[in-house]
Amino acid sequence: MPDVFADLVGQDDAVDTLRRAAASAAAVLRHAAAVHAAATAGPVDDDLDALAAEVEAEAEDAGNPVDPGAGMTHAWIFTGPPGSGRSVAARAFAAALQCVRGTGCGECPGCHTTLAGTHADVRLVVPEGLSIGVGEMRALVLRAASTPSGGRWQVVIIEDADRLTEAAGNALLKAVEEPPPRTVFLLCAPSTHPDDISVTIRSRCRVVPLRQPPAAAVAEVLARRDGVAPDVAAWAAAAAQGHVGWARRLARDPEARQRRDAVLAVPRRLTGVGAAFDAASALIEAAEAEAAASVAEIDEAERAALQTALGAGGTGRGAAGAMRGAAGQLKDLEKRQKSRATRAQRDALDRALVDLAGFYRDAVTAALGAPVAPVHADTAALAEAGARKWHAEGALRRLEAVLECRAAIEANVKQRIAVEAMMLTLWKG
């Protein structure tokens, strides 16, 4: 049976660090339990130190050496490119901390409930909008300070910690600066650059850098865990450029493959100014359609749940006030859903831009005769034709245009303006 770190693809160093930390966290708990037992068993004396040593020796005997340099700490940041497995690593580590048998056996109730998202002492923040607000963060920090009901650790996982608002960041900083004794914060962010995570929060955390997993490792996990045929797995892993989740979708979802095909057809279609503008519209609209499809189901479920909750209103003196409250809740929900849709559309467009960048990267490497495998094996011939026409310089200019477009959208330039400018460069060079 694979343990909780099995899905963390190609990250041996990080897994090693996390395993050691989990072992040392388990030793801390054993130590505390032993101290407690000694304290309640009778008069406490100098034997406590001896007892602690005994506990550590026990931990070593159990194969969990307590290495002070690789020990446990209460705040962590997982960094790495999208798809490298930041949140997978955070969840796996949370499971390892809650594991009642070892350091993430994958089978015990602690591991199981953590991975299933139902452990009472593991809270997960997945921002659905473009940022995490201060209200959400304060509530979270408050709950994180309570005593873990399972007697181990209170774990708070914050995905996309780079999307914290400044006020929310400050609320988090306070908790990280004066952490409750049994609380562990696990943050996920693309990097430790000050744009992603404030310097003060960073200075309180231990960083676990993840790398872009090699395609072979991604293909292996698709085949082993998801039962994807090896040739399809290899193709999807290369096409997804190390993004594990995207590779899985490409391997399993025909619509995702169609969308990718449409994106990779763009370079061929750029035959003039009009075509460039058409391609820009098509790219943006495709991202909108994909986003709408991805949020539709959950939006509807949320609306239905809220209406059911509000339907219990009834009539009477309090009814008018209740109606006003209901309108407010409905408005809140709509705002949240809109913000989630915006983010889904941005993510979909970014995905498309990464695919396009892969194509022009293939053209650059072809023009240079570099001995590396293409990102998109299925459009390699087209990229080679482009390379002959544009030469390395022209291919590089086009690749840069795609990357600049991503950066511009990240910096809140209007999508249409950024994508149109990119398409014109992709056409003219």
**Phi, psi torsion values for 72, nearest 5 degrees:** -85, 145
Q: How far apart are CA 398 and CA 394, in angstroms?
A: 6
- Using CB under 5 A, which of 75, 105, 287, 426 touches Zn ion? 105
Q: Whose Cβ is closer to Zn ion: residue 148's or residue 169's? A: 148
Nearer to Zn ion, 117 or 245 (CB): 117
Distance CA 66, CA 356 (A): 48
- Binding segment for Zn ion among 29-37, 98-106, 145-153, 318-326 (CB under 5 A)? 98-106
According to the binding rule CB under 5 A, does residue 111 interact with Zn ion?
A: yes
State which of residues 33, 47, 62, 101 lies at the interface with Zn ion (CB under 5 A): 101
Classify burial at 299, counting beta carbons within 10 Å of its beta carbon; exposed 0-12, middle 13-18, buried 19 or more: middle
Stretch binding Zn ion (CB under 5 A), from 45-53, 92-100, 185-193, 311-319: 92-100
Is 72 or 233 the residue whose CB approaches Zn ion more closely?
72
CB of 91 to Zn ion, least distance (A): 13
18 binds Zn ion (CB under 5 A): no
The token pair that represents 139 in the structure block? 């509530």
Based on its alpha-carbon atoms, the radius of gyration of the chain, rounded to whole angstroms, reads 25
Q: Is residue 268 a contact point for Zn ion (CB under 5 A)?
A: no
In degrees, to the nearest 5, what angle opens at C-alpha 344 toward C-alphas 343 and 346? 65
Residue 101 CB, nearest distance to Zn ion (Å)? 5
By three-state DSSP, how is residue 123 classified? strand
Of residues 14 and 94, the one with the C-beta less far from Zn ion: 94
Q: Which of 272, 79, 62 is nearest to 194 (CA)?
A: 79
Question: By CB under 5 A, is residue 96 in contact with Zn ion?
Answer: no
Contact 96, 76 (CB under 8 A): no
108 binds Zn ion (CB under 5 A): yes
* Residue 82 CB neighbours (<10 A): 18
Can you give the binding site for Zn ion, defined by CB under 5 A? Answer: 99, 101, 105, 108, 111
